[in-house]
Structures are given as C-alpha cells and as structure tokens.
Copies of this chain bind each other. A is one copy, B any other.
C-alpha cells in the first residue's frame, strides 16, 4: 500500500504497523521543499578546498599585472632578428638583465638585448623574447648570436591574459577545486564567503546497544550506525555532533531533539515497536510529515520538523539506516551545504548477470557486485546484513512500478567506492 501524498503520521502507530506508506518520490519532494542552502560564512583560502562558494567572485586585478617574459632568454626587438637562422646568425649586444620581481632598469634599443628570466617584467622597447635554446651566448655573456627569428609578441605574456580585472572567476555554488584556490590566491583573495556547514546531530537510541568499537556481548550488539553516519555526514559536508548512545526513554529523546542543530538524525527507535518513542516525540514537538515509506529496506523511515530543525527518523537496522540516509537525510545535508542533491556516487551502466526480483509498489535498494563486467545481485540482502553493503560494489534502484529486471538487461549501478 502506498500513497502519492505524504502520510500525515498523526496516529500512534506503535505495535500496530503502518496503515499506508508514502512513495519515495513524495518523500524526496518533501526533502527538497523543506531544505534551503545555509547562509554564508567566511573561511580563509587555506581552509576553502572542497567548500561551496556562497557568492560569485570577481577579480579585483589583472593577472599578470605587467607584461612579462614566458621563457628564460633575452628580451629583444623582434625586427632585429628578422631572417636569423642557424646559417644566418645575428649578433646582438647584451645590455643588462632583469630578474623576476624586479623593475627593468634599462630599455631595449635596436641591436641590444636584455637577459630575462621567465616571469620577469619586459623592459621598455622590447617586444619579444628569444629563448636560450635559440641562441649562443658568448663566454663573457656580453654578446648573443641568435639562430632563429621570432614574431613580435612571441614568448611575451600580456597584461590580464590569465585573468582580467572585473572578470567573474567563479559563480556562487562552485565547489572549489585545488586549482581554484591557486587562481583565487593569484588575484589576492585570502578570505571567501562559502556556504556554512550543516550541524548534524546524531541520536542513536537503543538499550541493546554498546558504544562503537566495543566487543558485542550477551544479547547486546555494538552500535554500527554512529561511525557510519559520521563518515557519511562528513563526506556530505556536515559537521557531526554525537552525544553518545541514548536510552530508549521518551524524556531523553525529547530533550535531545530540542538541542541546537540544523538537522537531527535519529537512528533506531523510529519504527512501530513499543520502544519506538521518536515518532511520537517528533509529532508532539513539531510535525512528523512522513512516517513509513514504500521502499525496501528503510520502510520505517520518517521525517519531519521541530521548529527550524529537520528531523530524519532512520531505521536502526544498518542497511536501512544507510539507505534512508542516502535517499533522504544525506540529500538534505548536501543541499544545506550547497552541494548537488543527488547521490554522491559514480554511476555505471552494465548488464545484469541474473534477474533482479522486486515487487510492484515499492522502490528497492538492491546491493550488487560487479563481476567480470556483469551486475550480480547479492543473495544476502536483509536490512540487518551490513556486510552486504561492504561486499557490494554498489547498488541498483528498482523503481516502484517495476517487478524487477531480467538477466541481461542493462541497469544503472551507483558505485560505493
């Protein structure tokens, strides 16, 4: 059973099951209409790699700001060496030199050259540079024999040829690459307005849970979700706040849901079990917009708002938790951070090695391995089998209206690696 409009989620569903489930499409629409990019914050250039620009950036200067040599060689007047060749070398007098960073002290006049290094300012009078490879300097350095002619402007970098003042270097929304930092540095920008990073609070509930990395014992299991979610959130540009495992108590969850955050992820205690307090607490403090989604795994996932905080209810089973994160919570975090909403995974299109079975009426998140260029659905795929996501190369999304795909059909695989 599924519905195109979000289930209002007003009834207490504990121990009675979901009456109807919202479609994945409607849940994604709810996410997209509920988030907006966070405001800007200032960062220094050194901390800006991978951040998203909040504003367009215009260059205040020309780069280069002066006419410069692009080679190690000699600044010349091009017409002085017209017709020069190995068989017709032309001798010129060396009248000085100019090093990078220096202001040239002499102008070049006809018959003379000035020794110049790559990046140094061109002296007045000169209109080209002849590289060291195309001449022979005398032993005392006072003369050169030029073996080639060059057109005016050759090996000369013009003012503003890399960046001209007033050019838009990057538009708002650009995720900064290493070379972008280089270019921003070269125009003298040391502080940038970037989209703030979302503060994401992870609430992990469960009396049965031991802290991450503790050996499991007795009837207790070890929290897999907080380390996984922390890494996912950081990948998607968020800052993690994790107060530790919480007991299954309505008051604790109520208190935690009121702490400051841009987004709260509740992992576990979010379904219809009698210890699942989170849905009722969200409903009581704010709005539980969606609870129960027509998908497998992650069908008990939910989402809503408490004041200006988005809340995502992620199932405690780790595969469901990962899936609901990537479909909904990650999508929200990425958009808050100014990043593309889509799954941050590479995609490839390959044939299925055997049929992939699904059911009409729900979206399936099928873990697959790629073996010899073919897509092999993983046999063990329960919501609790986290190792299915570590063995998998990635996953295939089977749409709601599909019964699955036959062997040999081409499918899009989202690659985890």
Q: Which residues of A contact B (CB under 8 A)?
A: 15-18, 44-46, 49-50, 60-61, 63-66, 70, 72, 99-103, 115, 117-121, 131-133, 137, 157, 161-163, 169-170, 175, 177-191, 206-209, 212-232, 234-235, 271-276, 316-318, 322, 346, 380, 382-387, 389-390, 416-417
**Contact of A318 with B219 in the complex, beta carbons under 8 Å:** no
From B50, B133, B177, B317, contact of A118 by CB (8 A): B317
**Contact of A183 with B224 in the complex, beta carbons under 8 Å:** yes
Name the B residues within 8 Å of A224 (CB-CB). Answer: 182-183, 185-186
Name the B residues within 8 Å of A208 (CB-CB). Answer: 99-102, 119-120
Known: A219-B120, A219-B121. A72 touches B185 (CB 8 A): no
26 A-B Cβ contacts within 8 A? Answer: A15-B137, A17-B133, A45-B227, A49-B231, A63-B221, A64-B216, A64-B384, A65-B218, A70-B384, A72-B276, A101-B209, A102-B219, A118-B271, A120-B219, A121-B219, A162-B385, A178-B232, A178-B322, A179-B318, A179-B322, A179-B386, A181-B227, A183-B224, A186-B216, A187-B222, A190-B212
Known: A72-B273, A234-B49. A61 touches B186 (CB 8 A): no
From B70, B121, B162, B235, contact of A178 by CB (8 A): B235
Nearest CB of B to A277, in Å: 13
Q: How far is the CA of A234 from the CA of B163 in the complex (A)?
A: 27
Chain A interface SS verdict (over half):
loop
**Contact of B318 with A64 in the complex, beta carbons under 8 Å:** no
Q: How far is the CA of A181 from the CA of B175 in the complex (A)?
A: 27
Name the B residues within 8 Å of A178 (CB-CB). Answer: 227-232, 235, 322
Q: How far is the CA of A64 from the CA of B209 in the complex (A)?
A: 12
Nearest CB of B to A356, in Å: 21
Number of chain copies forming the complex: 2
Q: How far is the CA of A115 from the CA of B228 in the complex (A)?
A: 30
Name the B residues within 8 Å of A157 (CB-CB). Answer: 382, 384
Nearest CB of B to A180, in Å: 5
Known: A17-B133, A101-B220. A183 touches B117 (CB 8 A): no
Name the B residues within 8 Å of A49 (CB-CB). Answer: 230-231, 234-235
Known: A119-B221, A227-B182. A170 touches B100 (CB 8 A): no
From B137, B188, B219, B234, contact of A222 by CB (8 A): B188
From B182, B188, B235, contact of A214 by CB (8 A): B188
**Contact of B219 with A183 in the complex, beta carbons under 8 Å:** no
